[in-house]
Amino acid sequence: MTRMSLWEYANPVRFMALSGRVLPVAAVLAAGLMAVGLVWGFFFTPDDFRQGSTVKIIYLHVPSAMMAINIWVMMLVTSLIWLIRRHHVSALAAKAAAPVGAVMTVVALMTGAIWGQPMWGTWWAWDPRLTSFLILFLFYLGYMALWAAVDNPDTAADLTAVLCLVGSVFAVLSRYAAVFWNQGLHQGATLSLDREQNIATVFWLPLVTCIAGFVALFVVLVLVGTRTEIRARRLRVLEARERGQ
């Protein structure tokens, strides 16, 4: 047997077989982790000293915000793989990830607004983080619109991949432009790897559970989206063959 490598799964048949096995596990994991994390966070953690019970929206806000950014990074990687190695599964995964990322961005913005109203006294402020997320949302919209607008699937995959690459550079630039432009209301990062302690352990554990649940949910949604797309393509090929005969 030859050495196994990741590129094996660029073959749609192998990808379908593997993802078919992973999907139920990931689905159960996502449902379980999110149920545990959210119930734990909402009902079994104490209220914050100053923010009261509003702080509990953090269990939706932080994971969705993290996913919104990381999904774009994932799309960047898959777009690069598509441009360099021409694996269709990669392009389709990027396509499937975009709507999930856009929804995550909206969830982060909306939970942020709901949190901001009692805390800052406003639904919206032109704060660097908020602004960057709005711009990120525009990038997601443009990316999806371009996929939808171009008829030929390979052309669409190429164009959106180029857009994703260029967009990434501008997304980072916008982030720094927004920081330069306005000092914000938003607090600093809730979690970061280079700090001794982030937030108190009572909040930290359910939060990490929720984040893991969001990641699993994302995996499930992308796999379902990619599998649907592969099946749709097979169907189109079969139909074309039918007509040809």
By CB under 8 A, name the binding residues for other proteins. 135, 138-139, 141-142, 145-146, 149-150, 155, 158-159, 162-163, 165-167, 170-171, 173-174, 176-178, 180-181
Q: How far is the CB of 79 from other proteins (least distance, A)?
A: 12
How far is 207 from 33, CA to CA, in rounded Å? 11
Nearest distance, CB of residue 149 and other proteins, angstroms: 5
| CB nearer to other proteins: pick between 23 and 156 | 156
The number of residues in the chain equals 245
Residue with Cβ nearer other proteins (80 or 205): 80
- Closest approach of other proteins to the CB of residue 136, in Å: 8
Chain centre distance of CA 96: 10
Cβ-defined contacts of 196-204 (< 8 Å, 24+): 202/45, 202/46, 203/41, 203/45, 203/55, 203/58
Nearer to other proteins, 23 or 144 (CB): 144
Q: Indicate the residue among 104 and 216 with the shorter CB distance to other proteins.
A: 104
Using the minimum distance from each CB to other proteins, give the nearer residue, 149 or 191. Answer: 149
Q: Please count the CA atoms within 13 angstroms of the CA of 69 that sit on its side-chain side.
A: 12
**Residue 199 beta carbon to other proteins: minimum distance, rounded to whole angstroms:** 32
Taking the complex as a whole, how short is the minimal distance between the CB of residue 114 and other proteins, in angstroms? Answer: 25
Contact 125, 184 (CB under 8 A): yes
> What residues have CB less than 8 Å from 11, skipping those under 6 apart?
89
